[in-house]
């Protein structure tokens, strides 16, 4: 699992809040699906820009992640680059599309463990639970620590 950072956790929480607030959600659209929404948060691209970038190569997010090449200069690979630079892994992003990361699903309430990958409320629950799991990995600072919280890029 990705190593927790304030920026990464903030990106997950911001994405969950935007979805919970009613942002357009369409699992079959590369820019407004599970990964598409996280990509919007990280890149500040629109859903249309992300979807357009994905059309340069065949496949959904899982296939795009599998075929990712950091040297291709394809627009979708540049989006994936930004997501990886944030600290996510390709495997985690593929799990996000399916809502299937075992460390995340194990933390869900027992009656909510069978998530549907294409339901907005299930995506929101998955994202917030993932952020909670990562937050627990962060070092604990005391009130006397002078370490500032990094800004989300």
Residue 132 in any domain: the answer is yes
Distances (CA, A) of 151 to 97, 142, 148: 26, 19, 9
The pLDDT of residue 58: 83
Residue 101 in any domain: the answer is yes
| Higher per-residue confidence, 151 vs 91 | 91
pLDDT in tens, 116-148: 999 999 999 999 999 999 999 887 654 555 555
The pLDDT of residue 120: 97
Tokens of 94: 């593929």
Residue 142 in any domain: the answer is no
Total domains present in the chain = 1
pLDDT in tens, 44-59: 999 999 999 999 988 8
CA distance 108 to 114: 9
Residue 143 in any domain: the answer is no
Task: Name the residue range of residue 122's domain.
Answer: 6-137
Distances (CA, A) of 49 to 37, 73, 86, 136, 152: 12, 16, 19, 34, 21
Confidence of residue 1 (pLDDT cuts 50, 70, 90): low
Residue 118 in any domain: the answer is yes
Percent of the chain scoring above 90 in pLDDT: 78
pLDDT in tens, 103-121: 999 999 999 988 999 999 9
Residue 153 in any domain: the answer is no
Residue 65 in any domain: the answer is yes
Residue 39 in any domain: the answer is yes
Q: Is the pLDDT of residue 17 over 80?
A: yes
For the entire predicted model, the pTM comes to 0.87
| H-state helical runs in 2-150 | 6-20, 34-43, 47-54, 61-67, 75-86, 90-98, 102-105, 120-137
The pLDDT of residue 2: 62
Percent of the chain scoring above 70 in pLDDT: 88
The predicted model gives 15-31 an average pLDDT of: 96
């Amino acid at each position: 699992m990705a190593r927790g950072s304030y920026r990464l956790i903030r990106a997950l929480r911001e994405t969950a809040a935007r979805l919970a607030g009613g942002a357009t959600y369409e699992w079959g659209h590369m820019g407004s699906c599970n990964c598409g929404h996280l990509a919007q948060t990280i890149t500040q691209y629109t859903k249309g820009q992300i979807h357009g970038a994905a059309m340069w190569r065949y496949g959904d997010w899982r296939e795009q992640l599998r075929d990712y090449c950091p040297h291709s200069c394809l627009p979708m690979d540049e989006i994936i680059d930004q997501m990886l630079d944030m600290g996510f892994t390709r495997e985690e992003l593929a799990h996000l599309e399916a809502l299937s990361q075992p460390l995340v699903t194990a933390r869900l309430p027992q009656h909510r463990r069978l998530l549907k990958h294409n339901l907005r409320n299930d995506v929101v629950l998955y994202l917030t639970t993932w952020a909670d799991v990562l937050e627990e990995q962060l070092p604990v600072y005391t009130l006397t620590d002078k370490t500032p919280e990094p800004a989300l890029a």
